[in-house]
Structure 1
């Protein structure tokens, strides 16, 4: 048992830090020199680690480097949007082997499974493998995924992906294990891994871009909800605190939060303040510091965030998406100011820090976590994707056991 614990600890360090010398690994896991040497011999014989060149520099012989054996398994991650699909393939050690971007049909009646499979085959081929060699594929999509049924909802922008058991159908027809996850949940995964939330247990994310989304993390686990709707803040009913008339008429119960802070709504709010823009992020960039438009927008955002803070009392609120990025930390500070006028907790508000395609990056982290558990026995519960619940009456996925 102790040997297994030490082996797993060594692999965890190599996966996290990359190639290390024996001395560096010895220091990281706290074993003696002879014990570490025996551990590496054992792991090499089991093909779990491989020699990975040498560390140069200084006088004397160069030190041998050791790395987790990435060739044991391969994964893919995809950011699926109405405009394009962004693919990446990596080995189980996390080394990126190929990337591919292409528009895919998402309209009702389209052969979404077939065209997705063709794109997946192409990027796998560029990585030097076959599609069937992929141990796990994670797709990030703008919608709510119900793990009990495999259905996507709240995704009218990709109608071709609605009305069928997405992971089951893709897994069966493509011959690979497929999971689909909400895009903002995956951004939260990436922030927990390398971003602002690495040392935070409880936080919420609010995505402001063309549309609106959210994620809630409690105890470093995503709150997905009974039907996959955890964090779907778009449908919250909130009053409109704007100080100008935008021409919108809201129901007595209040506006949908998504109807207040999606891109078209923000453009109308900006126009009421004399700022003409084609997108929300353009409007935010045009507004100078202290512009009353930004005050009104911050009030709207804070009104929705206040509901999350009042219930979850998180340590941190992170804003992400194109609109949030355009406003930066100054806008986050303004939202924080307005938020503290509405709730008792003095929750800080900041901007997500991950650059590039955070949805795809989070999907890759999730795929790696699941595959590393299968290959190395290394478990990272924080990053594992949702699975169909055991004992569910619907047909289980045939390509991998439920967890």
Structure 2
């Protein structure tokens, strides 16, 4: 063997053990041995070495009954901490976690509409850290999920006029200065797609498109399990496309072309529902009532599906994905009925017969995707574990 190979082999085995512990949680020595394929003595030596380096710690015992209880081992979560943040025009939703993935605290705070949003943002992060008994200096990486897209050349946020105060400067760079650690700003729908690849319906899918169809309309395009971001970061910003209104019921929308996001705004969807005799305060209420309204409800949902498909068709024609996923609370409310109607309309508009299904990950999907992304970055930095290509790239440093 060449010089240095025993050390290289130890590093490979150490990374394999750390990865197994991160993926599976606390393990006994024998469980770890089976997962990484080392002998009993080699696994024991590995655990001793990692414990001396404070990389792993003893984490209780497993078993009982007549036999001896086995020692459990876990990664030392205190080695690094991350923040995952879902930024909206009205609020921030923050999770602070350690490198093992354990969430230490969750913090929700309102955001001002314009004005000094950066100060409010920094204060919210500080309060979240205080709840976790941490300081800004304890943060190793932050991922922020935001509407719009960051231009990789300038760091400026675009496609987000509904986020006043956040545009016109290097956003990741400014946040890096304020928080004292590296920051990635990623499109919110992209992070939902990341979470679908990790824990949702796209775990075994190579190429797919995820659509957030109503209110803050957007899309994420994944090719060979890599997010497509585009030259200016604007891939998937279908909100700004001009499309004809294909709904059969006339609501005064532009038949020759209107902004896709405007056709699918909550106001526009509610107006469409009213034209079908369904009264609701917002799009979510309209879809929920439509499902219980018989023929009139079905006709409204079919018209809504025509609007959704009018924008999705262009993406499907170019990308020819394996799957289209509908995400967001309105899509969840429409369920399989809405998916089937959108799929039927797509078959009328384009050649690919792409299945349309409901995204599996709901709730705080943006924040969950941000957390997985932040953990991937710090685990590469601390342990040398490879970052999946699907995750956001290493962050811009402040200039």
- Indicate which of 172, 181, 186 corresponds to 2:186: 181
- Show CA shifts across 1:277-308 (max 9, x none): 22111111111365111111112212211111
1:236 aligned onto 2:251: no
- Show CA shifts across 1:209-267 (max 9, x none): 322011011111111111110111112232221111111234x4x22221222212211
Query: What is the root-mean-square deviation in Å for CA atoms of aligned residues?
Result: 1.6
1:130 aligned onto 2:159: no
Confirm or deny: 8 A CA contact 1:340 1:346 kept in the other structure: yes
* Distance in 2 (alpha carbons) for counterparts of 1:282 and 1:19: 44
The Cα of 1:55 is off from its aligned counterpart by 1.0
* Distance in 1 (alpha carbons) for counterparts of 2:391 and 2:202: 17
1:208 aligned onto 2:213: yes
* Distance in 2 (alpha carbons) for counterparts of 1:216 and 1:236: 16
Which residue of the partner structure matches residue 323 of structure 1? 330
Within-5 A mapping of 1:217-256: 217-250=222-255, 252=256, 254-256=257-259
* Distance in 1 (alpha carbons) for counterparts of 2:130 and 2:390: 27
* Distance in 2 (alpha carbons) for counterparts of 1:66 and 1:49: 7
Which residue of the partner structure matches residue 281 of structure 1? 284
Normalised to the residue count of structure 1, the TM-score between the two structures is 0.92
- Indicate which of 58, 62, 87 corresponds to 1:55: 62
Structure 1 unmatched ranges of 5 or more:
389-395
* Distance in 2 (alpha carbons) for counterparts of 1:208 and 1:84: 21
Which residue of the partner structure matches residue 368 of structure 1? 375
Which residue of the partner structure matches residue 391 of structure 1? none
The Cα of 1:383 is off from its aligned counterpart by 4.6
Structure 2 unmatched ranges of 5 or more:
1-7
- What SS class does the counterpart of residue 66 from structure 1 fall into? strand
- What SS class does the counterpart of residue 22 from structure 2 fall into? helix
- Indicate which of 351, 359, 366 corresponds to 2:358: 351
Within-5 A mapping of 1:63-78: 63-78=70-85
Confirm or deny: 8 A CA contact 1:147 1:386 kept in the other structure: no
Select between 92-101 and 337-346 the one with higher mean Cα deviation.
337-346
* Distance in 1 (alpha carbons) for counterparts of 2:172 and 2:398: 10
* Distance in 2 (alpha carbons) for counterparts of 1:267 and 1:398: 43
Which residue of the partner structure matches residue 4 of structure 2? none
Normalised to the residue count of structure 2, the TM-score between the two structures is 0.93
Which residue of the partner structure matches residue 99 of structure 1? 106
1:10 aligned onto 2:17: yes
The Cα of 1:387 is off from its aligned counterpart by 4.4
* Distance in 2 (alpha carbons) for counterparts of 1:122 and 1:196: 35
Within-5 A mapping of 1:36-55: 36-55=43-62
- Show CA shifts across 1:181-231 (max 9, x none): 111011111111111111111111111232201101111111111111011
Within-5 A mapping of 1:300-339: 300-339=307-346
- What SS class does the counterpart of residue 240 from structure 1 fall into? coil
Confirm or deny: 8 A CA contact 1:117 1:174 kept in the other structure: yes
- What SS class does the counterpart of residue 159 from structure 1 fall into? coil
